[in-house]
A and B are shown apart, each in its own frame.
Chain A
């Protein structure tokens, strides 16, 4: 399996890359980590006429604190850098916790955070994690930069809000509340496989122990990351208990999700797993937020 021929461009500035992108439009593909794109090209399922390699652009990989106390990550930051970043571990531990689930170290050494987010694989961890964290995606096109809320970014199967001449530049993650908790849970057949079902959870708790904020972002259950909003609404404003968590997780499975069947898992099994994982993840997250679950 060898890729079909293509023209190869290796711009050394973002402007050059954007110029090439607007020039070639749909004919072009951006090469970030290439860990999904090159296999697809090897199978000849993707045959881009032009490949724009972003790896020669300097200063495209960075992890920095924002003035507000959040984190911003350059789109070309390798997943392995994210995994090993102490800054991220400190500010957004959910992201750190999620990284080992992503394929294997050889893949994370090449794969980029921006590449994974823009690829929009519904089974991928990162889109769900960024969704749970309420991240912001910064895109740039011929008309300049714009910020896209993560909930607006994913618009369908392998589809994002990015225009053909736009490029993902940066991911911005908001600061975490004083009392918050997180968890990521997934069921994969083997270590590093795409999950049959997975969920990333972020919760915040007020001073009295009430859930003030909850986000459950599922993956491998739909066309993109799927937010369990019914489940979250059940939790917000309430004192978390095992019973409430169980109820919320059931709602997630029954109401929020409409998972597909495929050769690895039926819809019924996915729905069931979503409930189990939702319960486990919420429990873990609230415990992390120092909630004594009744």
Chain B
């Protein structure tokens, strides 16, 4: 299909505002009479609260109010469960959700206990420092492998153990696979916690106007509509009285959707109570404790193969760290469970997990959302199998790929959207061929690596595959309007955090209406502009909102053609939309500007005919029957300084399939950013807790985000298997870059340090950890130092 705007690398509509400092972020909202909030947060991971003394704080200058859990009265209640457990037979699920302010007990460091409201943030912090909380510290559950032990401290009263959930899914019969196997490989894999660390911390400005009885809340959320609906319910207001605005958001990556963060519950309540606007801006230190995190899992996994490398079955039993509360349901561990099978045609699968409570911050999805773990386990098992069976690592993957003719491919388990895990489309061998060729796999292994090794250089190659379930329902909607000015406005409820929606969504509309992308103005994330929707998560924005916008744009196009056909007395088929006008094909002088047509569609005289509507506007919705499955191959070449264990990435390649692409420039940006976060996760970022649950690196000095000198140039290429599940053929792309970097790093480093025969079974790594692994290998293999 020849396109004008769709599929083109068009520069972004939102950039001038962002580049000149004119874009509105939450902390930029200034209102007359604005009050500021600071929290007193728990110093302990697990403790009884025996008393709270706010008397000194209350007398401090500028303090307006101080509240604790008791002050909230009936408003205090545990948050809702965002997603119920999936309909899988025999599952166990214990609901324990976070509370607005801790009452009686704290369950992780940083849990809010008291909120101080003052005339400035400086004064609020002064007073918060003087609040005295009397604690009785309790032993804490930090290591997930100890959470279910009989002697583990109990985090939630009323439960028999620290069990959040237990769930088993299976396909085929793994025991039968075992019987038929030539080789069975079993290993334990560990994947530890990191944090999303969006550059913008969270923040809220809540403003209750008592006279108009309207609540307006600016919130760094990825899901403004859900926040509005929930808030209205909690506050006893009509949804029409609550407007939630997610303005420009400085990165989200998942944790900015939690429903509800304590601060989101408290700020509007405080504003209503004091009848003044109130602001809370999370600081970076708070962010390390009060924003959700991800990634602690331990897998006991097993793979059964024939001697020629054909996978007969996989068994995986894992522990998932839910943190102190589990408001998000089981999305993360189910993603782990459902992504493990990857690109492979595996007849038998047994997967069982226990999600456990620990005295650490809450776990909710962060870019990748559990998929990393599954990919890590499977790719590592294949690497180990390849080594044991003497099969090339690319070859063992090829032998197990789901062939193109088997799509749609049913994995016979249930995905995070509770729909069957059926891959819609893919061509895995094609992407692999491309990757092998582009990274120069054969030549590297046969020529370059031996040559460089002879020079004493430790170079290695990694190559792994992954799938990503994207674009899940339930639905999104959009309203497309041609304005009298000729500009087109698009409203959707989804919210945006930097993915370029102002541009990619505009391209979809521009394509249908023949207007310049710059003339399409998107409003997103403001509940006053669009009433319905779910939010930005699970790599679904482009797929779900994109197709809703497409549907609305197609409807508006039809209205334009119908109206123009009436006005011009020509058949619709003879009309074309281009350059902001509708005209008779081949007859430029016949053109009517769309703005004028819009005006004629909303006349001051004459009636709108029965069955028709005024204006050139349409609202449409899109809900996919299930998610679209994106996929890809990542490859990299590293050089390890075998003395210092510093790792340098010499090349990084991504071959990616996310179906039809709206804007390749934006897509590549998403991949680059995802890879950078993956590199952080694999080698730089790790939250380090001591045995008492104190976080030892709660700053950007000690929590190492990747910098420009640690992220390499990333080469990209694409394969496109359109999704049959939506009219545009799109698959999501937001998380793909981040998902497979762990096993890639492990494989490449093992290859570079091959003389030590390392088996890397954990992520994150670090030079220090590599040193330990290599030293252990030296001892075992009796290899002396250089």
Contacts and interface: CB of A to CB of B under 8 A. Distances in A.
A1 interface: yes
Given A5-B122, A266-B771, 11 more contacts: A4-B126, A43-B699, A187-B646, A187-B767, A189-B767, A190-B709, A263-B688, A264-B702, A264-B768, A269-B645, A269-B772
Contacts of A5: 122, 126
A2 B125 contact: yes
Given A187-B644, A196-B767, A1 B696 contact: no
B143 interface: no
A263 B283 CA distance: 23
B285 A191 contact: no
A46 to B, nearest CB: 14
B707 interface: yes
A23 interface: no
A263 B126 contact: no
A266 B768 contact: yes
- Top-7 shortest CB links A-B: A191-B709, A2-B122, A263-B688, A276-B643, A269-B771, A190-B707, A1-B283
A273 B785 CA distance: 12
B23 to A, nearest CB: 23
Contact of B768 (A191, A193, A265, A276): A265
Contact of B644 (A4, A190, A268, A276): A276
Contacts of B126: 4-5
B704 A190 contact: yes
Contacts of B643: 276
A113 B768 CA distance: 31
B336 to A, nearest CB: 26
Contact of A1 (B284, B697, B766): B284
Interface string B602-645: 00000000000000000000000000000000000000000111
Contacts of B701: 194
Contact of A266 (B121, B283, B699, B772): B772
Given A263-B688, A276-B644, A193 B704 contact: yes
A263 B121 contact: no
Interface in B56-77: none
17 contacts: A2-B121, A2-B125, A4-B129, A5-B126, A43-B699, A189-B710, A190-B709, A194-B701, A263-B696, A266-B768, A266-B772, A268-B771, A269-B645, A269-B767, A269-B768, A269-B771, A276-B644
Nearest to B702: A263
B684 interface: yes
B129 A268 contact: no
Contacts of A4: 126, 129
Contacts of B300: none
A75 to B, nearest CB: 25
A44 interface: yes
Contacts of B717: none
Nearest to B684: A189
B775 interface: yes
A190 B710 contact: yes
Nearest to A43: B285
B704 A189 contact: yes
Interface in A249-278: 263-266, 268-269, 272-273, 276
A44 B775 contact: no
Nearest to A1: B283
Contacts of A264: 702, 766, 768
B284 A263 contact: no
Q: Which of B644, B688, B707 has the most CB of A within 10 A?
A: B644
Which bucket holds chain B's interface residue count? Answer: 20 to 34
Contacts of B772: 266, 269
A272 B771 contact: yes
A195 to B, nearest CB: 11
Nearest to A250: B785
Interface string B757-786: 000000000111001100100000000000
A124 to B, nearest CB: 13
A265 B771 CA distance: 10
Interface string A26-45: 00000000000000000110
Contacts of A190: 684, 704, 706-707, 709-710
Interface in B272-314: 283-285
B770 to A, nearest CB: 9
B707 A191 contact: yes
Contacts of A266: 768, 771-772
Nearest to A4: B126
Interface string B120-154: 01100110010000000000000000000000000
A250 B729 CA distance: 62
A47 to B, nearest CB: 9
Contacts of B688: 263
A172 B285 CA distance: 39
B129 A44 contact: yes
Interface string B698-717: 01011010110110000000
Nearest to A272: B771
A7 to B, nearest CB: 15
B552 to A, nearest CB: 45
A266 B643 CA distance: 15
A147 to B, nearest CB: 34
A196 B771 CA distance: 13
A263 B697 contact: yes
Interface string A186-216: 0101111110100000000000000000000
Contacts of A265: 767-768
A273 B644 contact: yes
A105 B643 CA distance: 29
A45 B730 CA distance: 51
B694 to A, nearest CB: 12
Contacts of A192: 707
Interface in A173-196: 187, 189-194, 196
Contacts of A1: 125, 283-285
Nearest to A261: B768
Nearest to B124: A2
B458 to A, nearest CB: 14
Contacts of B704: 189-190, 193
A272 B641 CA distance: 13
Interface in B169-200: none
Q: Which of B709, B771, B772, B775 has the most CB of A within 10 A?
A: B771
Interface string A1-25: 1101100000000000000000000
Contacts of A2: 121-122, 125
A117 B519 CA distance: 57
A82 to B, nearest CB: 22
Contacts of B696: 263
B285 A268 contact: no
A192 B684 CA distance: 15
Interface string B653-689: 0000000000000000000000000000000100010
Contacts of A44: 125, 129
Nearest to A197: B644
A281 B645 CA distance: 18
Q: Which of A5, A189, A193 has the most CB of B within 10 A?
A: A189
A69 B283 CA distance: 50
Contacts of A272: 771
Interface in B88-128: 121-122, 125-126
Contacts of A196: 767-768
A187 B772 CA distance: 17
A109 B660 CA distance: 48
A193 B771 CA distance: 20
B290 to A, nearest CB: 13
A35 to B, nearest CB: 12
A243 to B, nearest CB: 14
Q: Which of A191, A264, A265 has the most CB of B within 10 A?
A: A264
A243 B255 CA distance: 55
B565 to A, nearest CB: 62
A259 B497 CA distance: 44
B99 to A, nearest CB: 25
Contact of B775 (A193, A268, A273): A268
